[in-house]
Amino acid sequence: MDEYADLHLHTEHSDGDASVEELLQEARKTDLIAIAITDHDCMDGIPEALKLSGKYNLQVIPGIEMSSYYGKIDVHVLGYFIDHEHPEIVDYCHEFREIRNRRGMKMVEKLNNMGVSITFDHVLEIANNGVIGRPHVAQAILQNGFVQNFQAAFSKYIGSDAPAYVLKKKIAPETSIDLIHRAGGVAVLAHPVTMGNDGIISYLASRGGLDGLEVYHTRHRQLGCEAYYRGLADKYGLIPTGGSDWHGSRTPYLRIGSSRVRMEHVRKLAEIASGRRSQVSAPL
């Protein structure tokens, strides 16, 4: 019997709205045997998830989704089997929390100048003092009656081509990959279809140190391109991974495990990470 994992899940510590335990409760209702929590630029939920993993009989893989840019293209890099207490990871997460807060303040300022009267304190309240993301700003816009639905906040105000959008800090994906490796983890390119440039896959596989490619993803399934990306993963020697990209009630059209990957691929990731940690900790 095949065993599966969902390697792309978000909690209230970034732009999801479920607590860590609520996520585990939902995951336990499925036939999954492993999950990865991959909050944006944040690993605050990992200690609690590891502590609760036995209670819910699930393997919890420490993960993160890092923000980066290839030129002007938004590129997300997933890290798995990371030492969440590694000093460089701790510093990275702290720095990005501050960066995301400043970005949120700038968006609120732009919105206020457009007559959209929301406050940053309200955004912080929605984020439950977690890492600020655009979904928190969108929720504030919606709750204050300036749009009729959540997605309209993006299309009208804070989407990448909208007037109140603020760019994220530009970090090269190679930098994210290198940091993941130094923390003993493996690096996987997230939802490549969203980049609109498959040349990035070839570049990061040959020159950037990429370990895997997210093949099985909600967007890929919707567009019918999972087989295509599985072919690219095989072509470039990348481990295929997958996950639902669940964000709790913010993604009501998804369920945990709706996109998933066989555990044989997860074990390959674990083997690479184990070897990498051995090299990092080996005496000089």
pLDDT in tens, 64-74: 999 999 998 99
Predicted local confidence at residue 280, as pLDDT: 59
The reply to whether 174 and 263 lie within a common domain is yes
* End-of-domain residue from the set 132, 158, 184: 158
What pLDDT, on the 0 to 100 scale, is given for residue 128?
Answer: 85
Model confidence, pTM: 0.89
Q: Render pLDDT for 96-110 as a digit per residue (tens, 0 to 9).
A: 999 999 999 999 999
The predicted-structure confidence for 16-73, as pLDDT tens digits, reads as follows 999 999 999 999 999 999 999 999 999 999 999 999 999 999 999 999 999 999 998 9
pLDDT, one tens digit per residue, over 227-237 is 999 999 999 99
Here the CATH number for the domain that contains residue 98 is 1.10.150.650
Residue 284 has pLDDT above 50, yes or no: no
Give the C-alpha distances (Å, rounded to integers) separating 270 from 128, 186, 196, 276.
Answer: 32, 8, 29, 10
Q: What is the pLDDT of residue 204?
A: 98
What per-residue confidence (pLDDT) applies to 278?
Answer: 78
User: For residue 133, what are the domain limits?
Assistant: 93-158
Residue 163 lies in a domain: no
Would you state the pLDDT for residue 281? 54
CATH at 186: 3.20.20.140
- 165 assigned to some structural domain: no
Domains: count for the chain: 2
